[in-house]
Amino acid sequence: MGIHKTITVNAQPNYEVIIGNDILDTIKVNETVNQVAIIYTSHVEKIAKKVSKLITKMGFVVTEIKVPNSEIAKNIDVVGNCWNKLGKSKFTRSDLVVAIGGGATTDLAGFVAATWLRGIDFISIPTTLLGMVDAAVGGKTGINTASGKNLVGAFHNPIQVIVDLDNLKSLNKHDFTTGMAEVVKCGFIADERILHIIENYPQECKKYDGVEIPELVTRSIQVKADTVAKDFKETSSSKTGREILNYGHTLAHAIEKNEKYKWRHGDAVSVGMVFAAELALADGILAPEVVQRHRDILKLVGLPTSYKFGNFKKLIEIMALDKKSRGATLRFVILEDIAQPARLENPSFKILNQAWEKVSK
């Protein structure tokens, strides 16, 4: 079926995100490469074997490294095992890592590539909706620790991202649904057309081969590419800086850590976006109809909008460790309106608790 769209991410360095169906053969391996490591999970073994054959036919030696599924792979022990295998295969700075899997796998493999010999090239082939629209694009790599999610990592761009929509076939329904959270996020922070598509064609947005999925994926990736190009290392204080991509993520990361990463990232982000909207409402910034629109759209695609947990102070303590906090300042990305992101710093406990009561029912 071929290429649907190619998006150039203007970062350090620039790279292309290729979106389409049956496009694994678009992978580009430079002639200077001697060997390639493919880091993948058992869930995507068929895809990994196909890529391995493609690269072998090009004349390169392939080392296959299977890692655990999901967030449990993002720890220093798994990273160490990957380093050991690269060492045994005598990988040099001219060699290449290919990441195949969901967001956790591309985060992990990107970090392995970023840290081996202080940085070697890698190509990302995301196989989940969340990976396609978020984790695989933007150059953030990382692993989890006992203190929190993604607190150890590096900025390290891929040299190519291949978004083969056929790979979505490998997902179960829940995993596809949770990926929609990042799509919805892009709609709220930057591209209202995404929200209109979901509202008008909800059934087509619930299945991997829905006619609206290519446009939703493309629009979401474009939002991320545009945002990353303005602020690659998230240092800008602008309202359009990279930090806006963290909408909903402050509470989400706290929920994930509290649930020992048994909650899917997208489910947590969904609740986190409703919480951020309620925060903005409680502070007199956001209109109540926009808050309700959050709930309506998230429910349309089957995502949760509440989290039942009695100890909110514990979650606040976890949120204070979030990467977006500065010193003792708790920061949230909020909205002033659709596609008008802003920041809320050090909200009072009264406002925090008011928003929490709305999402913990």
Mean pLDDT over 240-250 rounds to 90
Q: Are 180 and 129 in contact (CB under 8 A)?
A: yes
For position 239, what pLDDT does the model report? 65
Shared domain for 30 and 53, answered yes or no, is yes
Host domain of residue 35: 2-170
Residue 325 has pLDDT above 60, yes or no: no
Shared domain for 183 and 107, answered yes or no, is no
* Residue 231: CB atoms within 10 Å: 17
**Mean pLDDT taken over the chain:** 93
269-306 pLDDT per residue, tens: 999 999 999 999 999 999 999 999 999 999 999 999 99
Shared domain for 284 and 190, answered yes or no, is yes
Q: Are 220 and 182 in contact (CB under 8 A)?
A: yes
For position 232, what pLDDT does the model report? 78
Can you point out the beta strands (E) in the chain? Answer: 2-9, 15-21, 35-41, 61-67, 96-101, 121-126, 140-145, 148-155, 160-164, 331-337, 340-345
**What Rg, from alpha-carbon coordinates, does the chain have?**
20
Shared domain for 132 and 281, answered yes or no, is no
Mean pLDDT over 199-215 rounds to 96
Q: Which of 137, 170, 203 is the last residue of a domain?
A: 170
Residue 321 has pLDDT above 70, yes or no: yes
pTM for the full predicted model: 0.93
Q: Which of 143, 170, 197 is the last residue of a domain?
A: 170
Which among 102, 71, 128 is positioned nearest to 262, based on CA atoms? 71
Helix or strand holding residue 120 (H, E): none
Shared domain for 155 and 196, answered yes or no, is no
Shared domain for 144 and 59, answered yes or no, is yes
Residue 25 has pLDDT above 90, yes or no: yes
Return the residue matching tokens 């150039």: 8
The DSSP call for residue 134 is: I
Q: What is the CATH number of the domain that holds 181?
A: 1.20.1090.10
Shared domain for 304 and 197, answered yes or no, is yes
163-177 pLDDT per residue, tens: 999 999 989 999 999
Q: Which of 170, 199, 230 is the last residue of a domain?
A: 170
For position 326, what pLDDT does the model report? 56
Pairing of strands 331-337, 340-345: antiparallel
Longest dimension (CA), the chain: 63
Quick one: pLDDT band at residue 349, thresholds 50, 70, 90? Answer: very high
Shared domain for 140 and 78, answered yes or no, is yes
CA distance 159 to 96: 10
For position 329, what pLDDT does the model report? 75
For position 230, what pLDDT does the model report? 85
For position 238, what pLDDT does the model report? 64
Shared domain for 291 and 303, answered yes or no, is yes
Shared domain for 232 and 335, answered yes or no, is yes
The number of distinct structural domains making up the chain is 2
Shared domain for 211 and 164, answered yes or no, is no
φ and ψ at residue 324, rounded to 5 degrees = -85, -10
Residue 102 has pLDDT above 80, yes or no: yes
Shared domain for 324 and 197, answered yes or no, is yes
* Residue 37: CB atoms within 10 Å: 25
Q: What is the CATH number of the domain that holds 156?
A: 3.40.50.1970
CA distance 269 to 264: 9
